[in-house]
Amino acid sequence: MQLDINKVSDLVRETAEIEVMPRYQSLAAHEVREKELGDPVTVADEASEARLTRVLTDLLPGSCVVGEEGASADPALFDLLADPTPVWIIDPIDGTRNFAKGRPVFAVMLALVLKGKTLASWIYELPEGRMAVAEQGGGAWRDGTRLSAAKPPEEVAAMSGTLHASTWGQPEVSRSLERNRDKITQMKSLGCAGAEYVRLAAGEMDFSLFTKLMPWDHAPGALLYSEAGGIAKVLEGERYSPLMRKTQGLLMAADEETWETLRHTLFD
C-alpha cells in the first residue's frame, strides 16, 4: 500500500485552515453541545471530521473511517478496526474543551490502521501549526526535526509526567494512584492528549498514564512515541494496539526498564 505522508499532512493542514481555525475563539453558544455530561462537541469537530472523511477516502480508495464523532453516534464502527480494510482513525479536534473555551492547546489527530496495527500517524498542533508525523519503522518527526524520547533520570522521584485516571479506570487502579502519585513528579495536564504525546516524543516528559482508551486519542500518539524510541504498553504488559479499549490503563515510558519501574512504583 503506497501512501504519500506529505500529501496527508497537507490535507490535515487544509482541513484545519478551512474548518477549524476560522471558528477558533468565534464559536456561538449554539455551536457547542455536550454528547454526554462533560464531553463537548462543536460544529468545528463535526465539519473537520466530515471533510477529512471525504478527502482521505478519496486519497486511499477502499479505505474506511472510524472518527470520534461518527463512532460516538454509531459504536458499531469500532468493529472496522479489526477488518482487513485500511482504516483512518480521526480525532477532528483533540482538546475540544480547550478549543471551545478559546484556549490555545488543541490538535487534529489522524492514524492509518491496518488489521489493528498503526502504520502512520499525524498530530497537527494548533493554533501554532506544528505537524508531528510518524511512520512504522520510519521514526518520529516534527516539522522536519527527528524526535527522540527522553533519557530517564536515575531516580524515580525525579521522573516527571502526567497521570490521567478517569472514571473509565478500574477502581483498584485509581486507589493505587492515590497512594503512590507522590512518588513521582506530576505535571499538570494540557487537556490535549495529542500535545502531551508530542512532548513525550520530544523528550519533554518522562511518562504519561491514561485509563480511558479511545483509539482516536491514542493510536496517533502511541505510534509517534514508539517511533521516537519510547514504550507504549497497557498495564497488563502488552504493547498498545488501537483494538484495545477495556484495559487497566496505558503507560508510556522511555524504555522497558523505566516502564517496569514506573509500573511497580505506581501500582505495587
Fold annotation for 5-146: Fructose-1,6-Bisphosphatase; Chain A, domain 1 (3.30.540)
Domain 156-267 top-level CATH class: alpha beta
- The whole-number pLDDT of residue 229 equals 97
- pLDDT for 170: 67
pLDDT for residue 174: 79
Q: Where do the structural domains in the chain lie, given as residue ranges? A: 5-146, 156-267
pLDDT confidence of 22, banded at 50, 70, 90? very high
Q: Is the pLDDT of residue 255 over 70?
A: yes
Which pLDDT belongs to residue 166?
Answer: 65
In this prediction, residue 1 carries a pLDDT of 67
Task: Return the pLDDT at 258.
Answer: 94
Q: Read off the pLDDT of each residue in 45-57 and give the average, rounded to a whole number.
A: 98
Rounded to an integer, what distance in angstroms lies between the CA atom of residue 41 and that of residue 32?
A: 6
